[in-house]
Amino acid sequence: MNLLEALVNAIRLPELRNKILFTGGILVVFRLFANVAVPGASQAALAAGVRAATDVTGFGLLGHLHRMLAASGVAARIDAAAVPLLPGAAELAAAGFVSGGTRANTERMRGFAVVDPAVAPELAVLLHDAQTSGGLLLAAPPAAAAALLDELRAQGLPAALIGDVMAGDSGHVDVYPARSE
């Protein structure tokens, strides 16, 4: 049996149909956006003095952030409410549409990421989501962050300030429900 036959047979099972179609659709949508070039974004990042960057793919936002932090010997604090989500993503996660890769990411990050219990469970899941591709995580100097956000938004990009890098245990991430000064 080839992959196409296996997929067709699986779609015939009602309990798998929605999960398979949802997962396939998300992968297609992200792949399309990942291949769209945004030339001004790289110039804006360079002008702002971005110190590190990565694309957020299979290890999820927290997994990729952890790797950046560990390589730099620092920690971070994330404002969960500031993380941009695709429309409907939280509702689907709350309904149980969670991939095995996301569950593996959550388990893998247990010793490195501490999610405040006040963060909505579906948002905590999405911060580990393995079904991502195309988003960029940038580490910019604090003094340049506002101008970088303005420039990226002026180019029509959904940019957001989601947290702060600080001294602490190498690679550690604390996730809070909302930013507190």
What pLDDT is recorded for position 158? 80
Q: Using CB atoms within 10 Å of the CB of residue 45, give its burial: 0 to 12 exposed, 13 to 18 middle, 19+ buried.
A: buried
Rounded to an integer, what is the distance from CA 47 to the centroid of its chain? Answer: 24
Q: How many angstroms separate the CA atoms of 30 and 20, rounded?
A: 16
Distances (CA, A) of 111 to 76, 94, 101, 153, 168: 14, 24, 17, 34, 14
Q: What is the pLDDT of residues 108-162, one digit of tens each?
A: 999 999 999 999 999 999 999 987 655 788 888 888 888 888 888 888 878 888 8
Residue 4 predicted with pLDDT over 60? no
